[in-house]
Structure 1
């Protein structure tokens, strides 16, 4: 009789464990770490935008930069091709964190820096705010929204795919970087 009860309990635990493994628990969001590299090479890339913000709340501003492999033509227009390399980079002194480094087919990458009042403090100081970087990657067939935040414990950024709808067929989007404006590359305030 005792063996039968043990068997039933083990079967129930086995079913629970299999369900737990297959279905998962909690959030289905996957957080990927983005580690730093020393002196990330940007030779041959065109800087499109740079913003300064204290992303890791250490009191010093980091540089958030967007690059593309497209070059500025002699007439001042961007020489877009069908698939450009796009880089979203955070520089902190000698360290560089390549948040995004990939080819984008007929599209672009844009970013936003959000200051989140996680403790809901009235009139928070800069150190009370948590910064998150949101990036939208648009292509001719899809749209993806990414979120990055500083992981103070592991000293790296964490990347999360917030939105990447399945079965995307085509996408229309505006092109922010259609005509480069050197006066708009640097941003110390609002983007």
Structure 2
């Protein structure tokens, strides 16, 4: 849960910095749409007497035209920038924020590797009424004769047509709910991706395996219940490393 709080805090910081840097969407005479993003400057180039920069953000490259020569000359490759641009991909504003850069770099170095383990203890029953239930199943995970429920939720709401209004990213929660306690196995923000779970018994052990996908990552995590300690042992069984560019993801079926 501490890791979840840390990431949610990071997202809030990003929103605050974006708001402080660019303010509200400007009133442009042409009524063009205005976008903001943040990432590392991968490349500077000049084509047909026009200056361009390429920003690596969320697993994709954004190529922007820079009309101001002084701004273009002052930009540094591999630096972390917050950018504002219009629908024609023309740069309107750019700023450096070392604090966010440090958080992003640290999060990269803290990416779990195969075999990393962690424990999940029980918590007081939580309230999830304000979330959208995606999937659930009844199961007696501890063989005490009473069924519990394993449920997958998202913060994304449903539209008037009953369809889920997916955003570019949202928080996902996977929890085992009992009459007197919960086990929150996953509670985190997923950008342009999804979470699927599989619950089963392996001999006498109850196991939940999740597959988390995104535009630049794929991770398989196993949660195995330790009845003696009354806790789940999480183990990262597989995680992509390096510069990953996801070509295809299975469509959401929730």
**TM-score above 0.5:** yes
- Structure-2 separation of matches of 1:175 and 1:53: 27
- Structure-1 separation of matches of 2:206 and 2:243: 30
- Structure-1 separation of matches of 2:243 and 2:187: 22
1:160 to 227, 235, 247: 235
1:136 matched to 2:200? The reply is: no
- Structure-1 separation of matches of 2:244 and 2:122: 35
2:181 to 95, 102, 112: 95
Unaligned stretches of 5+ in structure 1?
1-27, 118-128, 181-191
Asked if structure 2 preserves the Cα contact closer than 8 Å seen for 1:108 and 1:175, the reply is: no
- Structure-1 separation of matches of 2:178 and 2:243: 36
Asked if structure 2 preserves the Cα contact closer than 8 Å seen for 1:111 and 1:133, the reply is: yes
Shift of 1:94: 2.1
Shift of 1:168: 4.6
Give me the CA root mean square deviation: 1.6
Q: Aligned residues, how many?
A: 140
1:114-156 Cα distance to aligned partner (Å, 9 max, x none): 2212xxxxxxxxxxx3221101111111110010111112211
1:66 matched to 2:152? The reply is: yes
Asked if structure 2 preserves the Cα contact closer than 8 Å seen for 1:142 and 1:168, the reply is: no
1:88-135 Cα distance to aligned partner (Å, 9 max, x none): 000121211110000000111100112212xxxxxxxxxxx3221101
Displaced runs of 4 or more, over 6 A:
none
1:116 matched to 2:202? The reply is: yes
Unaligned stretches of 5+ in structure 2?
1-113
The aligned counterpart of 1:120 is none
The aligned counterpart of 2:89 is none
The aligned counterpart of 1:148 is 223
The aligned counterpart of 1:106 is 192
SS of 2:235's partner is strand
TM-score (norm 1): 0.68
SS of 1:154's partner is coil
- Structure-1 separation of matches of 2:116 and 2:191: 24
- Structure-2 separation of matches of 1:147 and 1:109: 13
The aligned counterpart of 1:173 is 249
Asked if structure 2 preserves the Cα contact closer than 8 Å seen for 1:57 and 1:130, the reply is: no
1:49 matched to 2:135? The reply is: yes
**Greater RCO (CA < 8 Å, at least 6 residues apart):** 1
